[in-house]
Amino acid sequence: MAEQPVDKDQTCEGVVECTALVLAENCSDFEGKLTLFGILDEIRPSGGETSFVVYAKFEGCEHAVEGDLRMARILITDEDGTTIDESEEFSVWLDGPENSTTVVAGFEIPEDFGEGGERVLWVEAILDDEALSQTAVRLRERYSV
């Protein structure tokens, strides 16, 4: 079978990437500058509801149409794929690679979720119903050293 020639004028139609997906204990916004506190690679339940924030950064390529609106959300699932929590939808405006959009969503894990030993949470950055980035975080009764 012969290879099809590549059309040099064909574009990728504004591919979007999630270039950051970070979990933190909390965050603050001071004069337009976001600061994340206590970056997490595991979560230790505190005996009650366990809260944390998720930061996601979305960037479009040079083919992104100026003012292209996409919808993003953050999804938290367990190791079986059951949804634990989901953020509201965020508007993501693309304007090429120079401008990125960041979203921050807060989550609370029910106090009984961590019972029964070590568990895993999957955190996904979803854009227009497509998972762009995913990370796993362990829930542990004690911090690992």
- The string of pLDDT tens digits covering residues 28-49 is 999 989 999 999 988 887 666 7
Question: Measured between alpha carbons, how far is 77 from 110 in angstroms, rounded to an integer?
Answer: 13
Residue with token string 């999630």: 18
Is the pLDDT score of 63 beyond 60?
yes
Look up residue 34 and give its amino acid.
Answer: L
Q: For residue 26, give both structure tokens.
A: 């909390």
Pairing of strands 16-30, 42-43: unpaired
Is the pLDDT score of 139 beyond 80?
yes
Q: What is the mean pLDDT of residues 73-96?
A: 90
Q: For residue 38, give both structure tokens.
A: 């206590």
Q: Which of 62, 59, 72, 71 is nearest to 12 (CA)?
A: 62
Q: CB neighbours (10 Å) of residue 43?
A: 21
- The string of pLDDT tens digits covering residues 92-130 is 887 766 778 899 999 988 777 766 667 899 999 999 999
Please indicate, yes or no, whether the overall pTM of this predicted structure exceeds 0.95.
Answer: no
pLDDT above 70 as % of the chain: 77
pLDDT at 47: 66
Q: CB neighbours (10 Å) of residue 50?
A: 18
